[in-house]
Structure 1
Amino acid sequence: MSKEKYHQQLSDVIENSLLHLYGQVASNDRFVPLARRNDIVCKFLKPKLKQPCYKSIKGDIKRMILVGQRKDGDLEAKLNELHSMSVDFQKKANDAQKLFDLLSILLSKHGFDSKIFDESAQAEPEVIYVLQDHLENCFEDNGTQIAPVSMLIESDRSLELIEFINATQLFSAELKESDSNNQQSHILLHPVK
């Protein structure tokens, strides 16, 4: 598993644990003491130890549970600290890596495959095409984006695609041009600062 996927999975577990805790606390009319908060989160985390999809972060989950089981442990504070560190890591990821992450998300969650545009090949519908020269010229050597990246797609879901991209908060997507007859769209990706 790549470093980025590891951090993303760990971040998801941390965020979901906090959301679960805050949902439980909000549904309770009375004050929820620290020991009970730790118990709520530990009960949420324990089943994840047996799930194969969490194999790569099993050790991290065990350490979180141990914090919650200690007499003086404050698992909520530790999760908030880890969440803050995770957000900092994501901010430091370079823009080129963010483009790779975005394309991976669009494929896994929304079914949009992506390819380098090849003029000699027949374009496929529902496939995002990125221009090779944009990959070479829109990013500096350190991965910082210096110009908008063009994406081309033939799909009746172009506006949905833009919403999906913007929802990731990795880039800001803009519809540059659209041909409704052929359902072709040119989308620009701008860096999010």
Structure 2
Amino acid sequence: MSKENYHQLLSDVIENSLLHLYGQVASNDHFVPLAKRNTLLCKYLKPKLKQPEYKVIKGDIKRMVLAGQRKGGDLEAKLNELYTLSLNYQAKANDAQSLYDLLNILLHEHGFDSKMFYESVKAEPGVIYVLQDHLENCFEANGKQIAPVSMLIEHESVSSLIELINGTKLFFAELKECNEKTKQAHIELHPITLK
């Protein structure tokens, strides 16, 4: 799992925990003391320890539960602090890092290898080729994407690759052109903020 996905999963758990707490507090006619707030949060978080989709952040969830069970602990304040840190991380993650994360996800989770495309390279089916000049010209020095990144691939189901890319929410992928006979496609990646 990429760093970006780890932080997104952690952020989602923190955000959902706080929403759960605030929903419970809002439905209560009386003031909800700190100890009760900690109990509500711990009851919400504990089942996630056994759910496989949270395996990579299990240690983080355990620490949250322990913080809520500690005498005098304030899990709500800790979650708000972690949520702020998570938002700061996401704001700092740049587009060049997101491209690296995307290519890692496509390789490790879906089996799509990626290589740099040069004129002398003989393209292999199923391999994503990124144009080197695009890497040099599509990103500013700080990693911010200023132009679409082109990817080339020869694959039976280009639409499924586009769905996988868009499903990561790291980029908006658009099919620029496709040769149905040779199954060669040109995909452009746009920063998600410009979608």
1:12 equivalenced with 2:12 (yes/no): no
1:156 aligns with 2:180: no
Correspondence for 2:169: 169
User: Which shifted more, 112-121 or 65-74?
Assistant: 65-74
1:80 deviates by 5.0
Shift in CA distance, 21/146, structure 1 to aligned 2, threshold 3 Å: closer
Aligned CA RMSD, in angstroms, stands at 3.5
Alpha-carbon distance between aligned partners in 2 of 1:79 and 1:44, rounded to the nearest angstrom: 17
Percent of residue pairs bearing the same amino acid type: 54
Instruction: Output the TM-score relative to the length of structure 1.
Output: 0.74
Distance 2:173 2:45 in 1: 39
The structure-2 alpha-carbon separation of the partners of 1:77 and 1:184, relative to structure 1 and needing over 3 Å to count, comes to farther
Q: Tell me how far 1:120 sits from its aligned partner.
A: 2.3
Displacement of 1:110 after TM fit?
A: 1.9
- For 1:43, give the aligned amino acid: K
* Structure 2 unaligned blocks of 5 or more: none
Q: Deviations over 1:146-188 (max 9, x none)?
A: 1111000111221111122122222111110011111111001
Residues 129 and 99 (structure 1), Cα distance of their counterparts in 2 relative to 1, 3 Å cut: same
RCO higher in 1 or 2 (8 Å CA, sep ≥ 6)?
Answer: 2
TM-score under structure 2 length normalisation: 0.73
Name the structure 1 match of 2:40.
37
Distance in 2 separating the partners of 1:76 and 1:107: 38
Mapping of 1:127-146 within 5 angstroms? 127-146=127-146
Query: How much does 1:8 deviate?
Result: 4.0
Q: Output one character per residue of 1:83-102: Cα deviation in whole Å (capped at 9) or x when no partner.
A: 34323312321111111011
Task: Measure, in 2, the Cα distance between the counterparts of 1:80 and 1:162.
Answer: 35
How many residues are paired up? 182
**Counterparts of 2:81 and 2:94 in 1: how far apart (Å)?**
23
Distance 1:163 1:39, change over 3 A: same
Task: Mark the runs of 5 or more structure 1 residues left unpaired by the alignment.
Answer: none
Q: Which residue is equivalent to 1:189? A: 189
1:54-103 Cα distance to aligned partner (Å, 9 max, x none):
6xx84x55542332112444535533542343233123211111110111
CA distance in 1, matches of 2:73, 2:188: 47
Q: How big is the shift at 1:21? A: 9.2
Asked if the contact 1:17/1:41 (under 8 Å) is kept, the reply is: no
Aligned equivalent of 2:88 = 88
Q: Distance in 2 between matches of 1:71 and 1:63?
A: 14
